[in-house]
Amino acid sequence: MARKSFSMPFIIFNFNDKSYIILQAQDYLFVRAFVPFVASVLIKACKESDDSDDVEVILGGMASLKDEILWFKREANKWGISLSDVVPQNANKNYCR
C-alpha cells in the first residue's frame, strides 16, 4: 500500500506501513493547519493586489489543498484510522506555529 501511494524515485529509503501511516497522518494535520494561512493570504491579496491573477493563483492553490485533504481522507479509510484521532507530533506542532 505505502509504496504504491508514495513513489518518489529520487528518494531511496525503506519504510513500513506503520511509518507511512504516521507520515501521512501528520502531513494531513499540516495541510489542515496550512489552510487558514492560505485563506489569510487570499484576503490580503483581495484587498491589496493590483493583479487579479494573484487571487486566481491562490484560489487554485486552495483547490489543490482541498483535493489533497480528500485524498488523505480516502487513504485513512483504507488504513482504518480516524484522522480526527491523530495527535500532532512535536515537530509538526512546532512547524505549524
List pLDDT tens digits, range 18-46: 888 888 999 999 999 999 999 999 999 99
As a whole number of angstroms, the distance between CA 25 and CA 14 comes to: 18
pLDDT at 56 over 60: yes
Count CB atoms within 10 A of the CB of residue 21: 19
The CATH code for residues 15-95 is: 1.20.910.10
pLDDT of residue 1: 46
The domain locations on the chain are 15-95
Sequence-distant (≥ 6) Cβ neighbours of residue 62 within 8 angstroms: 35, 38, 39, 42
Q: What is the largest CA-CA distance in the chain?
A: 49
Beta strands in the chain (DSSP E): none
Mean pLDDT of 60-78: 94
